[in-house]
Chain A
Amino acid sequence: MALLGNKAGKVPGLQYVVQQVDVKSAIGRLHLLRQPFMTDAREISEHLAKTSELLQLLKSPDKSQLLDDIGHALTEVHDITATLNSLTKDFVLDDIGLFEIKKFALLTTRLKELAESSNLRSFNFTAVEEVVKLLDPEGQKVPHFYIYDAYDAELAALRKEYNVVYKTDIQQAEALRLKCVEKEDTIREELTSKLKVFAHTLIANLNITGDLDLSLAKAELSLRLSLCLPVAGKEMGLSFKGLFNPAVADALRKKGKNFQPVNIDMSPGTALITGANMGGKTVLLKSIVLSQYMFQYGFMVPAASAVMFPFRDIMFSFEDEQSELRGLSSFAAEMLKINGIINTSRSHTEVLSLIDEPARTTNPMEGKAIVNALVDIMQELGAVTLITTHYSGIESNCRRLRVAGLKTDIMEGIPGIESINDYMDYSLIELPAGRITEEEVPHEAINIARLMNIDNDLLARASSYIKKDTEL
Chain B
Amino acid sequence: MPFVDEILKYRSLSIVGLAKNTGKTECLNYVLRRLEGSGRRIALTSIGVDGEKVDLVTGTSKPETELYESLIFITSEKHYHQRRLTSEILEVSERSTALGRLVTARAISRGKVMFSGPADTMWLKHIIKKMGNYGIDTTIVDGAISRLSPGSPAVTESMILNTGAAVSANIPKLISHTKFVHELINLPSYSGSESLNESLRDNLLTLSHGLYAISPDGYIHDLGISSVFLLKDNNHELFEHGNTLYVTGAVSDKVLDYIRLQKAFRNTRLIIRDFTRLFVKPETYRSFITAGHTIEVLLRTKLMAVCVNPVSPVGYVLNSKELCAGLSQALGVPVYDIKKQ
Contact = CB atoms under 8 A, between A and B. Distances in A.
B94 A166 contact: no
A159 B86 contact: yes
A94 B86 contact: no
B109 A162 contact: yes
B109 A145 contact: no
Nearest to A174: B84
B223 interface: no
Given A96-B80, A163-B110, A146 B88 contact: yes
A174 B84 CA distance: 9
A137 B120 CA distance: 38
A99 interface: yes
Contacts of B63: none
B92 interface: yes
Interface in B77-92: 77, 80-81, 84-90, 92
B111 interface: yes
Given A26-B94, A177-B84, A95 B109 contact: no
Nearest to A94: B81
Contact of A96 (B69, B84, B92, B110): B92
A228 interface: no
B103 interface: yes
A96 B78 CA distance: 11
A188 to B, nearest CB: 12
Nearest to B77: A96
A145 B89 contact: yes
Given A96-B77, A96-B80, A159-B86, A78 B92 contact: yes
Contacts of A146: 86-89, 105, 108
Contacts, number: 44
A165 to B, nearest CB: 10
Given A96-B77, A96-B80, A144 B110 contact: no
Given A94-B81, A162-B109, A99 B94 contact: no
Interface in B13-67: none
Nearest to A80: B92
A159 B108 CA distance: 10
Given A26-B94, A180-B86, A96 B109 contact: no
A95 B221 CA distance: 47
A145 B88 contact: yes
Nearest to B89: A99
Contacts of A26: 94
Interface in A408-453: none
A172 to B, nearest CB: 14
Interface size class on chain B is 20 to 34
A96 B100 CA distance: 12
A220 interface: no
Interface string A362-396: 00000000000000000000000000000000000
A183 to B, nearest CB: 11
Report which residue of B69, B86, B90 has the largest number of chain A beta carbons within 10 angstroms of its beta carbon. B86
A163 B109 CA distance: 7
Interface string A1-12: 000000000000
Nearest to A167: B110
A25 to B, nearest CB: 9
Interface in A111-168: 144-147, 159, 162-163, 166-167
Interface of B (DSSP majority class): strand
A301 B28 CA distance: 60
Contacts of B105: 146
Contacts of A350: none
Contact of B94 (A78, A162, A163): A78
A100 interface: yes
A94 B108 CA distance: 17
A100 B92 contact: yes
Interface in B217-241: none
A159 B109 contact: yes
A96 B86 contact: no
A299 B249 CA distance: 45
B94 A177 contact: no
Contacts of B89: 95-96, 99, 144-146
Nearest to B66: A166
Report which residue of A78, A146, A162, A167 has the largest number of chain B beta carbons within 10 angstroms of its beta carbon. A146
A174 B111 CA distance: 9
A174 B106 CA distance: 20
A137 B108 CA distance: 16
B109 A144 contact: no
B86 A144 contact: no
Interface in A201-232: none
A26 to B, nearest CB: 6
A169 to B, nearest CB: 13
Contacts of B80: 96
A144 B92 contact: no
Contacts of B77: 96
Contacts of B94: 26, 78-79
B277 to A, nearest CB: 34
B110 A166 contact: yes
A136 to B, nearest CB: 12
Contacts of A166: 109-111
A177 B90 contact: no
Contacts of A95: 89
A100 B103 CA distance: 11
A177 B92 contact: no
B103 A144 contact: no
Report which residue of B69, B80, B105 has the largest number of chain A beta carbons within 10 angstroms of its beta carbon. B105
Nearest to A180: B86
Contacts of A180: 86
Contacts of A167: 110
Contact of B90 (A144, A159, A162): A144
A309 B86 CA distance: 60
Report which residue of B77, B84, B88 has the largest number of chain A beta carbons within 10 angstroms of its beta carbon. B88
A177 B108 contact: no
27 contacts: A26-B94, A94-B81, A96-B77, A96-B80, A96-B89, A96-B101, A99-B89, A100-B92, A144-B88, A144-B106, A145-B88, A145-B89, A146-B86, A146-B87, A146-B105, A147-B86, A159-B86, A159-B109, A162-B109, A163-B69, A163-B109, A163-B110, A166-B109, A166-B110, A167-B110, A174-B84, A177-B84
Q: Give the 5 A-B CB pairs with smallest separation, nearest first.
A: A146-B88, A99-B89, A166-B110, A145-B89, A144-B90
Interface of A: 26, 78-79, 94-96, 99-100, 144-147, 159, 162-163, 166-167, 174, 177, 180
Given A94-B81, A144-B90, 15 more contacts: A26-B94, A95-B89, A96-B89, A96-B92, A99-B89, A100-B92, A144-B88, A144-B106, A146-B86, A146-B89, A146-B108, A159-B108, A159-B109, A166-B109, A177-B111
